[in-house]
Amino acid sequence: MSRIEQGCLAAGIAGLVLCVLGVSLDAKAMLGAWLAAAIFVLSLPLGALTILMVHGLTGGRWGDAVRQPLRIMVAMLPFALILLLPVLIRLDLIFPWAGPDSGMLPEKVREKLAYLNVPFFLLRFAVCGAIWVVLAWMMLGPTAEDSVKTGNGRKYAFGLIFHALAVSVFAIDWMLSIEPEFTSTIYALCEAAAEVVGAFALAALVLAARRAVELLPGGDEETSLSEDLSNMQFGFVLTWIYLVFMQWIVVWGGDLPDEIHWYMVRATGGWQYLLWLLLALQVAAFAGSLSRPLKRSHDGLIWLAGIVLAGHLADVFWRIRPPLFAGGPPALWHDAVAWIGVGGLWLALFLFLLRRPDRMVWWKREAAHG
């Protein structure tokens, strides 16, 4: 392992030790902080799966360029799923409907208990995890890169259908049901779009950090690859902004009390500053994507991708953390150690696979030789 990988691993282990201490002091606060970090990490391989399957159907130089970092994210899917296991041990600390006394729940929530119950929740999560592992198995391996060129579109079409269903179920179960009174038929689409935004931004950031992509030809002779990637990223961000705005405008126009409460929790108590930061990051990414010289430059692509990735992190934290947070700024130490623990381990593994991409598919090699 390189020194950077060793440093990330050491930070991750130290963070995990502090997380164990946090659980002993306040399990609910620690699991709430852990959930936000774990969902962010899981969003990256899920978004990478979406992009790889879409590219399998459409083709294009942009997808060929970012395929390697996307495949590395997909290879880290099992690690991301494992991060959710601590939350499964104490679902009652995160989800109100998982508590022992369902009679204390509001009537609107009790009407949903046929769906929101622990056994059914665990079954759905197991099915979603199995779908994603199978899709990851399909997208990785020695022949995965050549399969794009064989015109095997049916596999990607069916894969996208199952993936969309799994992401929808996951978004409802693990995010929306934190506040079960809130209902949104577009929330799953917002989550799917956010996953794509985060995964593509990270892939573009990694690619630009390792190669001079502004010198490579893009979709036509007068377009650089960096401009192509920036335009794709811009399109993904616009899609996410449109879906999020549509959700907000429906809630505002319908004057829906429970749905308005969802926004009020995230716009008061200090969370409004995070909201303003999120908006500022998206405005900066939007404005930067309108500048062709910026998109055609190496530093410009790194800056744009970094801003978009930071915006995705802020978005996940803003959506997940507020209803699970209790206490003032000192209580944020739970979040600090959770992100250090999860982020350190994730970065160590990600950097290792960047350096040794042949290790992505070790399980396929063992299966073939076994």
- Token readout for 234 is 């811009």
- Choose the most confident range, by mean pLDDT, from 137-151, 170-184, 216-230: 170-184
pLDDT-based confidence at 272, cuts 50/70/90?
Answer: very high
- Of all residues in the chain, the percent with pLDDT exceeding 90 is 63
pLDDT of residue 142: 45
More confident residue, 296 or 222: 296
Return the closest-CA partner of residue 216 out of 228, 202, 205: 228
Local structure of 224: helix, strand or coil: strand
Burial class (CB in 10 A: 0-12, 13-18, 19+), 154: exposed
Q: Please state which of the ranges 21-35, 248-262, 350-364 shows the lowest mean pLDDT.
A: 350-364
Residues facing 224 on adjacent strands? 217
What pLDDT shows up at residue 365?
Answer: 53
The sign of the torsion formed by the CA atoms of 323, 325, 327, 329 equals negative
Q: Where are the domains of the chain?
A: 3-369
pLDDT digits (tens, 9 = 90+) for 56-87: 888 878 888 899 999 999 999 999 999 999 99
Concatenating the DSSP letter of every residue in 55-92 gives HHHH--HHHHHHHHHHHHHHHTHHHHHHTTHHHHHTGG
pLDDT of residue 141: 62
pTM check: above 0.85: yes
State both tokens at 267.
Answer: 């716009």
- Largest separation between any pair of C-alpha atoms in the chain: 66
Q: What is the dihedral of CA 283, 236, 8, 327, to 10 degrees?
A: 60
As a whole number, mean pLDDT of residues 327-334 equals: 83
111: number of CA atoms within 13 Å, CB side? 5
- What's the mean pLDDT when you consider all of the chain? 88
Q: Could you report the per-residue pLDDT of 192-250, keeping only the tens digit for each?
A: 999 999 999 999 999 888 876 665 666 555 567 788 888 999 999 999 999 999 999 99
**For range 155-175, the mean pLDDT:** 95
Nearest to 59 by CA among 69, 49, 67, 70: 67
Which pLDDT value is given to residue 108? 86
DSSP bridge partners of 217: 224
Q: What is the pLDDT at residue 200? A: 97
Q: Is the pLDDT confidence value at 363 over 90?
A: no
